Structure 1
Amino acid sequence: MENYQQQGYNPQMPNPETSYLGFVDAVKICFNKYADFKGRATRAEYWWWYLCTVLVSLVLGWIPFLGWAVSVALLVPTLAVSWRRMHDIGKGGGWWFINFIPLVGWILWIVWCCQQSEPMPNRFGPRPC
């Protein structure tokens, strides 16, 4: 246990998988880390952001120029939170490119994004709280 405490693990810290991160907080975090590809993102942060982008696309997607502009504006934070989500489960962000493999890549991506966070600090930093 002493070795884990030296690495920044504190068993008294709230577990990010059980502590609640709401929709608004997750969207704020993603906009604050707009192009930050370093660090880790919890499951809740990733999936709330994904829901936000889907809702925005549904609402604004039918407006020709505005829908395109919003999609372009949300591309970078979507890539960043996806990259950080892979870091949270101990994988490099480059695994995002597996999405280009039809069907199999998407299924694998969804399975990985649904995995729990690593409880200990990993090579990408301490666990997010």
Structure 2
Amino acid sequence: MGQIEMGAIQVGFTEAVRTVLTQKYATFSGRASRSEYWWFFLFYMLLAIAIAVLAFVVGSFSGQQGEVSSGVILVMVIGGLLALALVLPILSLQVRRFHDRNISGWWYLALIILGMVPYIGPVTSLSITIISVLRGTDGPNRFGQDPLRPEARAEVFA
């Protein structure tokens, strides 16, 4: 485990996290492969679980009954700051994932806004998930080169 082979390029967990956080922190142009997207999503979920477990452990050993300890508050503040620092990379990664499907990032914004409407939110969340799961377009599209096969050309009979 640790790497997924897709086409001619292998994108592993650490490579995906490093790429999103260092090279493409707030890059809304270009495309993101499924492996890059899902490895970073796994990293984000593991980070959230680790912070929740840490807050639980700190709260368990605080000795205070019925009150929130200052240690738990500190862990939650750190977790909140981390979540805030990851907003831009997550948004840009999702837009690049839409671009890989040849869909404008403005559709992502529209789905986010529609998700705030009662009873429509679950449908928009499902739509975003489905778009994120589907394969990207083969070869270059209007948003850039294929992240899995950058050498591929648009001409079919080249």
Matched, 1:39 2:30: yes
- Give the deviation of 1:17 after TM superposition: 3.3
The higher radius of gyration belongs to 2
TM-score (norm 1): 0.82
Alignment correspondent of 1:77: 89
- Give the deviation of 1:126 after TM superposition: 0.8
- Percent identical among aligned pairs is 32
Equivalent position amino acid for 2:51 in 1: L
Equivalent position amino acid for 1:122 in 2: N
Within 5 Å, give how 1:53-64 maps onto structure 2: 53-61=44-52, 62=55, 63-64=75-76
CA–CA separation in structure 2 for the residues paired with 1:85 and 1:117? 8
Stretches of structure 1 that go unaligned for 5 or more consecutive residues are 1-15
CA–CA separation in structure 2 for the residues paired with 1:106 and 1:20? 28
CA–CA separation in structure 2 for the residues paired with 1:96 and 1:60? 28
Matched, 1:22 2:12: yes
- Give the deviation of 1:59 after TM superposition: 1.1
Structure showing greater relative contact order (alpha-carbon pairs closer than 8 Å, 6 or more residues apart): 1
- Give the deviation of 1:57 after TM superposition: 1.2
Alignment correspondent of 2:124: 105
Indicate the structure with greater strand content: 2
Cα 1:30–1:120 change in 2 (3 A) is same
Structure 1 range deviating more: 42-51 or 53-62: 53-62
TM-score (norm 2): 0.68
Q: Cα RMSD between the aligned structures?
A: 1.5
Residues 12-59 of structure 1 deviation map (CA, whole Å, 9 limit, x = unaligned): xxxx83342110011011012000000000000011111111111111
